[in-house]
Amino acid sequence: MSTEPILRVEGLDLHYGPVQALHGITLSVPPEGMCAVLGANGAGKTTLLRALSGLHKVSSGKVLLEGEDITRLPAERIITRGLAHVPEGGGVIAELTVEENLRLGGLWRSSRTDKKAMAEVLELFPPLAERRKRPSSTLSGGERQMLAIGRALMAKPRVLLLDEPSLGLAPLITQQIFDLLRDLRKSSGLTVVLVEQNAAGALATTEHGFVLNQGKVAVSGASDELLSDERTRHAYLGF
């Protein structure tokens, strides 16, 4: 297995008008790995993901996906390079049915519905299969998160960015989603970058963690070390 990182971020700066939100973020994600991006509210976690997926313009620095520079590509192109982003709240389109949301995810690859990919996703998420013709607005919070992840998987990404999949979900459902991501990594070689408030849960699920503070990488290291390092926990993670 190659040790070349699948996703590398080099010196990323980002401004919202006069305010600098990210300061020289540098990190790399190994292939088929699972990383957590942690930090307090406003630390820049969501901004970082949005910069990676092309929703925000970066001021300077580089994002390399499998060695290819994707920094200046718009979001609708980055998904076609293999980087999918499930935004905070999932971004499920409530006005569309479950099946339409899933079809949408695979549309960039082909205008014909990818029946095989759809069947695979529905097998991963049985509740969605039961409700495939229903409007997405009728789904529960956990089902919406499943649909959001399912839609991203329809694009057959190699890297999946997830912004707070646990938001508003019961701990049991969150655990199911974390387990599922781990299984996916094993079965399809997916690389997952997980942004979480729930630092303990995220570190227990991942191998590597990055802790952001005020738009900078404050600490990074193996997840189990971060979990056992009292100083990091107290200073940044609040437990």
Partner 1 sequence: MEKFLDLTYNGLSSGAVYAALALSLVIIFQATRLVNFAQPAFALVSAYTAFAVIQATDSYWLGFGAALVVGALAGALVERVVIRPIASKSELNAIIVTLGLLLVVQGVIGMVWGSREHGLRYAFDYKGDFSPADVFAVASIAVVAVLVFVLYRFSPLGLRMRAAAFRPEAARLSGVKVGLMLTAGWAIASTIGALAGMLAGPPFLSPHSFDLVFVFAITAAVIGGLDSPFGAILGGLLMGLAMSYVSGYVGPEVATLAALVVVVLVLSLRPDGILSRPKARKV
Q: Is 229 helix (H, G, I), strand (E, B) or coil?
A: coil
Please identify which residue in 45, 56, 103, 131 interacts with partner 1, judged by CB under 8 A: 103
CB of residue 183 vs partner 1: minimum separation in angstroms? 23
Which 211-230 residues touch partner 1, going by CB under 8 A?
A: none
- Vertex 68: Cα angle to 67 and 72 (nearest 5): 135
Q: CA torsion sign, 98 to 101 to 106 to 112?
A: positive
> Does position 135 bind partner 1 by CB under 8 A?
no
CB 172 within 8 A of CB 118: no
Q: Write the interaction track for partner 1 spanning residues 60-99; mark x where CB under 8 A is met and - where it is not.
A: --------------xxxx-xx---xx-x---xxxxxx---
Among 15, 28, 64, 108, which residue interacts with partner 1 (rule: CB under 8 A)?
Answer: 108
Query: Is 107 near partner 1 (CB under 8 A)?
Result: yes
Question: What does the alpha-carbon distance between residue 49 and residue 22 come to, in Å, rounded to a whole number?
Answer: 11
- Least distance (Å) from partner 1 to the CB of residue 56? 11
CB 220 within 8 A of CB 30: no
The size of the interface with partner 1 (CB under 8 A), counted in residues, is 28
Q: Is 56 in the site for partner 1 (CB under 8 A)?
A: no
Backbone φ and ψ for 29, nearest 5 degrees, come out as -120, 120
Helix axes 98-106 and 141-154, enclosed angle (nearest 10): 30
Residue 114 one-letter amino acid = D
Say whether residue 16 binds partner 1 (CB under 8 A).
Answer: no
Cβ proximity to partner 1, 95 vs 123, nearer residue = 95
In 3D space, the residue among 47, 15, 2, 13 whose CA is nearest the CA of residue 161 turns out to be 47
**Taking the complex as a whole, how short is the minimal distance between the CB of residue 114 and partner 1, in angstroms?**
12
Residue 75 CB, nearest approach to partner 1 (Å): 4
| Separation of alpha carbons 175 and 202, rounded Å | 10
Q: What gap in Å lies between CA 28 and CA 5, rounded to an integer?
A: 6
40 binds partner 1 (CB under 8 A): no
Residue 171 interacts with partner 1 (CB under 8 A): yes or no: no
Least CB distance to partner 1 at residue 174 (A): 22
**Contact set with partner 1 (CB under 8 A):** 53-55, 74-77, 79-80, 84-85, 87, 91-96, 100, 103-105, 107-108, 111, 151-152, 155
